[in-house]
Structure 1
Amino acid sequence: MTRTHPPFDPELEAALRLVHQVNPPTVTSERIADLRAITDAYRIAEESLAGIDVAEHVAPGPAGAPDVALTVLRPADADPAVPLPGMLHIHGGGMVAGNRRVGLDWAADWLRTVPMVVASVEYRLAPEHPHPAPLEDCYAGLEWLAGKAAELGVDPSRLVVAGGSAGGGLAAGVALLARDRGGPALAAQLLICPMIDDRARTPSSTELDGEGLWDRTSNATGWAALLGDAAGGPDVSPYAAPARATSLAGLPPAFLDAGAVETFRDETVDYATRLWQAGGQAELHVWPGAFHGFDSVVPTATLSREARAARENWLRRVLSG
């Protein structure tokens, strides 16, 4: 079968070749341990946290489940008398890997652009903990952040949920849960290359095979870990795979982006379109020639800087006040 996809951006493609020498693009169930080793080795550079206070907290977990750990960031020079926006940050890792420190370089940049309190949540990973465990842990983190707003110096009217990749999918699921459970009111949702559809029914979900990062086999691996035999079938919860939600009405304003050469491109575009059709507000970017997670892999690339600036500008707009 011939698969066609847009060309990679030359600057990004050069870096991608180097990445593939140490991290092949395909994750199978046998390689989950390897992916975890890579994400567990992640360390945010100390200079990235300069001027930021970092604290560790524990929130009550879902009923019958362990407590949930959160790492909380706050600008060190913020006036404690002035409440700041609050963000629940959810890390990526294909539902099977990662920890609450992954992606905090993004969060550190965001809170320098818009002073805010960021709580990054540690959720249980599949396949040991399938749906709904990861999502319920994240939702417990949101409830904790909202409940501790006064103590943390957070303005409860300016809460945002954010994440990339699997974290973006979980963030979208948290927004749906908050809407349907009458939970904490969200002012915005930031969905970076979100993993939101288990059905592999779009061209972009199948056109990458051994190319880019997180190809079609990797995606099948992640969804199978989260959903087991139900993956791709008729009985998957929209909270697990938000693209399955029948209504996107009543959701907070959203920022969505994806690379033009990544598995999640089409489902991201479709989700933004359905938010508009439901009367919602969404800002959508599809970065030409970009692969999944491009701005984390090559943060200095021209396209990466543009993508990060777009997210920061959106946060400034939706959280101003």
Structure 2
Amino acid sequence: LMIAGGSAGGGLAAGVALLARDRRGPQLIGQMLMYPMLDDRDATVSTRQIDGVGVWDRGSNLLGWGSLLGDRRSTDDVSIYAAPARATDLSNLPPAFIDCGSAEVFRDEDVAYASAIWAAGGQAELHVWPGAFHASESLAPQAALSHDAVDARDRWIRRLLG
């Protein structure tokens, strides 16, 4: 069983991986997190940079987190399963594939999440696609970079499945 998701779905997939670990099942062989939305606190450099521009920007992000969490957004009353970047223990998670664009509001939280997995002794394959924006492979599917992103995901799945 592998879990996957993009954007908010990527955040949900990461939350499910944490929940499966904490509840001791189901056993996941991997988690594919495509430009995942992981952190409700809106405190990274990339969220300040991608403000008022792009497909999904800071304003969209604040609206999305506010819709999910309401007044709890950016408070201490947020579950790690809703905002996985808040997890302090990322040990014993299934291998992760994480990708995002360099011109992406989620860039810094995604890089930090991969780094935290590595720091906990886990496996993460991280791709930050140069010049790519949020969900660019679906909005510009013929672009060479979009092909590279999809190919990298496919190769990771093939390696995971052996």
- 1:167 aligned to 2:9? yes
Distance across 2 between alignment mates of 1:242 and 1:213: 23
Percent identity, aligned pairs only, is 63
Calculate the TM-score normalised by the size of structure 1.
0.50
Counterpart code for 1:235: D
Of 139, 143, 151, which aligns to 1:301? 143
Distance across 2 between alignment mates of 1:290 and 1:230: 31
Contact 1:196 1:242 in 2 (8 A): yes
Q: Which residue of 2 aligns with 1:15?
A: none
SS at match of 1:222: helix
- 1:244 aligned to 2:90? no
Q: Which residue of 1 aligns with 2:158?
A: 316
Q: Larger helix proportion, structure 1 or 2?
A: 2
Q: Which residue of 1 aligns with 2:24?
A: 182
Q: Which residue of 2 aligns with 1:102?
A: none
Of 278, 284, 289, which aligns to 2:131? 289
Q: CA deviation at 1:165?
A: 0.3
Q: Which residue of 2 aligns with 1:227?
A: 69
Q: Which residue of 2 aligns with 1:67?
A: none
Deviations 1:90-123 (CA, angstroms, capped at 9, x unpaired): xxxxxxxxxxxxxxxxxxxxxxxxxxxxxxxxxx
Deviations 1:41-69 (CA, angstroms, capped at 9, x unpaired): xxxxxxxxxxxxxxxxxxxxxxxxxxxxx
Q: CA deviation at 1:208?
A: 1.4
Q: CA deviation at 1:232?
A: 0.8
Which one has more relative contact order, counting CA pairs under 8 Å at least 6 apart? 2
Q: Within 5 A, what are the aligned runs for 1:99-178?
A: 159-178=1-20
- Kindly tell me the number of residue pairs found equivalent between the two proteins: 162
SS at match of 1:303: helix
- 1:268 aligned to 2:105? no
Contact 1:213 1:262 in 2 (8 A): no
Q: Within 5 A, what are the aligned runs for 1:70-109?
A: none
Counterpart code for 1:213: V
Q: CA deviation at 1:162?
A: 0.2
Deviations 1:174-206 (CA, angstroms, capped at 9, x unpaired): 000000011210000000000000001110012
Calculate the TM-score normalised by the size of structure 2.
0.99
TM superposition outliers: structure 1 runs of 4+ over 6 Å: none
Q: CA deviation at 1:213?
A: 1.2
SS at match of 1:258: strand
Q: CA deviation at 1:209?
A: 1.9
For structure 1, the 5+ residue unaligned runs are 1-158
> What is the root-mean-square deviation in Å for CA atoms of aligned residues?
0.6
Q: CA deviation at 1:233?
A: 1.0
Q: Which residue of 2 aligns with 1:218?
A: 60
Q: Which structure has the larger Rg over C-alpha atoms?
A: 1
SS at match of 2:108: helix
SS at match of 1:210: coil
